[in-house]
Amino acid sequence: MSDPTERREFPRAQAKWTVTLLIAETQIEGVIENFTPKGLFISCDQFPEIEGSFRMVIKIPGRPTMNAAGKVMWSTILDASESGARLGVGIEFTEISESDLQYLYEIMKEYREG
């Protein structure tokens, strides 16, 4: 039985995929910690202020590179130390191909059944 207080449409599937955020002239490398067909939660070492949508390149082992666009919905500090901070960022897809979206739905189906 699902938790009635849970507002999420989909459960989060855990992942450790690399992602590159393409923002103006900057490329930021991050790691996808979990995902749904609607968006991603990533961790990264740097994250400049972003307004609007930006491009992403998602590298999934054993699958062609996924290209999408997204926007930042929220961010938080995951870990802070003298050497810097590790940031957590919630990203909502604003553009994703039908085939990539279908792939994420299939993975979510496996996640629910597994």
40: closest CA among 26, 30, 49? 30
Kindly state whether residue 93 falls inside one of the protein's structural domains: yes
Q: Is 80 exceeded by the pLDDT of residue 84?
A: no
The CATH number of the domain where 62 resides is what? Answer: 2.40.10.220
Phi, psi of 99 (to 5 degrees): -70, -40
Q: State how many domains the chain has.
A: 1
Q: What is the mean pLDDT of residues 29-45?
A: 94
Measured CA to CA in angstroms, residue 75 lies from 7, 43, 71, 110 at distances of 18, 10, 11, 28
**Domain span including residue 83:** 13-113
Kindly state whether residue 21 falls inside one of the protein's structural domains: yes
Kindly state whether residue 3 falls inside one of the protein's structural domains: no
The rounded Cα 19 to chain-centroid distance in angstroms is 8
pTM of the model as a whole = 0.83
Cα 69-38-53 angle, rounded to 5 deg? 25
Q: Is 50 exceeded by the pLDDT of residue 21?
A: yes
